[in-house]
């Protein structure tokens, strides 16, 4: 749920005057994306998304995010394409905020993913990793393991309000993750947030990846681990669906094989990824004011995943076929 900023038809008209996308027919604030305000535009040339970047996005990161979509799209990765205005730039300014127009992708995100959807996601993720190899910009992951301890420090004292015992459990896992984290695995552009609301399907076919606003340069297998967390758990958030995991991983590795080191690290990476989402959810849970339009997500769903990963001995338990 978003749309934090309304825009008038006059300021929007002036803004669009710098683009060649036809006459504006309508614009609707849409309830997608958590961080930004998004509008679906209809013009005489088609449908577009207008995004106003709100406070949580650093404007200095926009060339990376938008440049990445411009890099991936022509390589056959189905993702929105930023629309340049007449002077060639893709980042404008509207209602006091950085703003961009991207092409609209038809498709629906699936509320209840199936094995087929997981397979498609694995394939698309690997293709994105390959297509990103020669992307020239670099962006550090601002929510990598180095960010977890500071986040935790700001949430720890109240963690047991959310679930008794949470503080001790996280403290112990965080110590372990920091001690054992692998920084020597293949790096590249990762999406870093490829949850089911960021993948569109038309029927069983993946029609697009969206929302590259957490994308960064980091461990490729960590992106795989995040997708396992996002797509392959049962509704109880505690049981892993091995069939979905196998579908995702076999589709991924058919396009981009995992090295033995990546395979070995997968349980650790999945555990860390679950920690990352637990921590940001916990922080938001404790700090989002009542009445905010931001929908708070329950952190304990990711604590349950952490508990699962803690007892995993080998990536084969996610469905990876080891050589």
List of residues contacting a second copy (CB under 8 A): 1, 3, 6, 8-10, 12, 24-32, 40, 42, 47, 104-112, 200-202, 290-293
CB of 188 to a second copy, least distance (A): 30
CB of 26 to a second copy, least distance (A): 5
CB of 141 to a second copy, least distance (A): 29
Q: Measured between alpha carbons, how far apart are the two ends of the chain, in Å?
A: 44
Question: Following DSSP, what letter does each residue of 89-140 receive, concatenated?
Answer: -S-EEETTEEEEEEEPPP-B--SS--HHHHHHHHHHHHHHHHHTTT-----B
CB of 22 to a second copy, least distance (A): 12
Closer to a second copy by CB, 8 or 153: give it.
Answer: 8
Closer to a second copy by CB, 50 or 266: give it.
Answer: 50
Helix (H) or strand (E) holding 187: strand 187-190
Helix (H) or strand (E) holding 46: strand 46-52
CB of 65 to a second copy, least distance (A): 21
Q: Where do runs of H (alpha helix) occur along 111-259?
A: 115-131, 145-162, 166-180, 220-231, 242-255
Rounded Cα distance, 192 and 258, in Å? 18
Half-sphere exposure of 125 (CA within 13 A, CB side): 36
Closer to a second copy by CB, 197 or 317: give it.
Answer: 197
Closer to a second copy by CB, 63 or 107: give it.
Answer: 107
Closer to a second copy by CB, 86 or 111: give it.
Answer: 111
């Amino acid at each position: 749920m978003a749309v934090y900023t309304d825009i008038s038809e006059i300021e929007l008209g002036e803004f669009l005057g710098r683009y060649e996308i036809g006459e504006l027919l309508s614009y609707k604030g849409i309830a997608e994306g958590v961080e930004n305000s998004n509008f679906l535009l209809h013009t005489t040339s088609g449908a577009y998304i207008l995004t106003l970047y709100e406070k949580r996005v650093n404007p200095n990161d926009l060339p990376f995010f938008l440049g990445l979509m411009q890099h991936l799209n022509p390589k056959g990765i189905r993702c929105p394409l930023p629309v340049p205005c007449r002077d060639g730039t893709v980042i404008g300014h509207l209602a006091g905020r950085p703003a961009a127009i991207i092409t609209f992708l038809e498709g629906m995100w699936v509320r209840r993913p199936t094995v087929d959807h997981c397979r498609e996601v694995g394939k698309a993720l690997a293709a994105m990793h390959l297509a990103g190899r020669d992307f020239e910009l670099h962006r550090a992951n601002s929510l990598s393991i180095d960010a977890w301890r500071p986040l935790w420090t700001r949430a720890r004292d109240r963690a047991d309000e959310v679930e008794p015992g949470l503080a001790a459990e996280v403290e112990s896992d965080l110590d372990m993750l920091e001690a054992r984290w692998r920084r020597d695995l293949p790096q590249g552009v990762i999406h870093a947030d490829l949850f089911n609301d960021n993948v569109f399907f038309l029927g069983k076919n993946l029609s697009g990846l969206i929302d590259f606003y957490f994308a960064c340069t980091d461990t490729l297998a960590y992106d795989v681990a995040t997708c396992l967390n996002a797509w392959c758990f049962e509704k109880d958030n505690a049981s892993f669906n091995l069939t979905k995991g196998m579908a995702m991983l076999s589709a991924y590795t058919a396009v981009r094989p995992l090295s033995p080191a990546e395979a070995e690290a997968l349980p650790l990476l999945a555990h860390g990824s679950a920690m990352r989402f637990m921590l940001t959810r916990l922080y938001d849970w404790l700090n989002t004011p009542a009445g905010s339009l931001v929908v708070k997500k329950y952190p304990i769903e990711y604590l349950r995943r952490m508990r699962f990963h803690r007892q995993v001995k080998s990536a084969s338990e996610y469905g990876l076929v080891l050589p």
